[in-house]
Amino acid sequence: DQQVKQNSPSLSVQEGRISILNCDYTNSMFDYFLWYKKYPAEGPTFLISISSIKDKNEDGRFTVFLNKSAKHLSLHIVPSQPGDSAVYFCAASGNTNAGKSTFGDGTTLTVKP
């Protein structure tokens, strides 16, 4: 049973607009959440994270929101740029699994010029 789910396989937005990527999780013991960005034929790179004691974390154009009661987090990219086109993975971890990360399937974001 997949514990981290990204239900939208793909998302297409216009340059300059907001991109919203969503992620749901089922394990209430997860307490740390991360987003990674992956270009084709490369490894993922860390983008932003959030601890369960917070509901929002911001880093430049990237903001992650966490709704613990709904077991839902989202990544907002504003404004979106063509260079943001990539696959975005949501990951979750908790001390109950020794800090190992569980990943979602990824969402392919395409930002059109």
Partner 1 sequence: EADIYQTPRYLVIGTGKKITLECSQTMGHDKMYWYQQDPGMELHLIHYSYGVNSTEKGDLSSESTVSRIRTEHFPLTLESARPSHTSQYLCASSEGVGLLGNEKLFFGSGTQLSVL
71 DSSP assignment = T
Stretch near partner 1 under the rule CB under 8 A, chosen from 14-22, 45-53, 60-68, 72-80: 45-53
Smallest distance, partner 1 to C-beta of residue 4, A:
7
Q: Does residue 105 interact with partner 1 by CB under 8 A?
A: yes
Q: Does residue 75 interact with partner 1 by CB under 8 A?
A: no
Contacting partner 1 (CB under 8 A), which of 45, 58, 59, 112?
45
C-alpha of 93 from chain center: 13
